[in-house]
Amino acid sequence: MIGIIGGSGVEEISELADSTETKVVETEYGSVEVSLLSIGDKTVAFLPRHSAGHTCPPHKINFKANIMALKELGVTQIMATNAVGSLDLDIGPGSIVLPDDFLDFTVNRDRTFYDNEVIHIDMTEPFCNRLRGAILANSGCVNGPVVDGGTIVCTEGPRFETPAEIKMFGILGGSIVGMTTLPEAVLAREKEMCYAPIAVVSNYSTSISPTKLNTDEVYGIMAKKKGELIKLLFNTIKELSKECDCECHHILDDAHM
């Protein structure tokens, strides 16, 4: 099964599905409502990261329950959408970035399923390059730049970053900054699921932009790119193989001490 973790608006992919079913998945970390979509010969589990109506702030998301729910449904590969700010003037609002690395600056999140075991997972390729390649191959439907690669910085939120923080992230090699990729990506890897983020640049970050951040502008860009993002997800889903053997599915083979 293919999983999609998305924000507000992306749930409209259900309008392209042949059928839709809502299911509540009970996990040891909490209950999660998931939409099961039939798209061609594929079943897709759509999970709204911020809950129905975009009501849960990023620092309060139950990431462990979300990932466990998808795992229990049989999801093996996840595409996750994110709204991000750009740290680079060459990556402007409306761009789509397919990151290949991350910097984790979250501070108070439940980061691992292995609190009571000595498990060290490899992060040489933090995101699934096979899945990233499939998304890139189907990105012809996007109007505007699609950036292959880059480092996404994840902050705790819910506040935006300070100018000094943005300067630091740039010095460290960050390309874009958001609040939702982690620990989501790590938890998915711990459960041996392919995971690839699709980051939509909604604004230049603090001090990169000549003006103060305006949430109305952020929502405006996301609304403008929504149709393209849904089409990108839909096209990629149609092209993905239902049966695939990926290195991500064997990440725990050498992780035990």
Packing angle of the helix pair 215-239, 129-137 (nearest 10 deg): 100
What are 20-29's contacts with CB under 8 Å, separation 24+? 23/73, 25/69, 25/72, 25/73, 27/64, 27/65, 27/68, 27/69, 27/72, 28/68, 29/62, 29/64, 29/65, 29/68
Return d(Cα 58, Cα 56) in angstroms, integer: 7
| 8 is known to lie in a ligand binding site | yes
| 169-205 core/surface letters (b: 16 or more CB in 10 A; e: else) | bbeeebbbbbbbbbbbbbbbbbbbbbbbbbbbbbbbb
| 50 is known to lie in a ligand binding site | yes
| 179 is known to lie in a ligand binding site | yes
| 76 is known to lie in a ligand binding site | no
* E strand or H helix at 232: helix 215-239
| 250 is known to lie in a ligand binding site | no
Whether the upstream peptide bond of residue 210 has omega within 30° of 0, thus cis, is: no
Token pair 């139950």: residue: 62
- Residue ranges at the known binding site for phosphate: 8, 49-50, 180
- Residue ranges at the known binding site for substrate: 179
- Residue ranges at the known binding site: 8, 49-50, 179-180
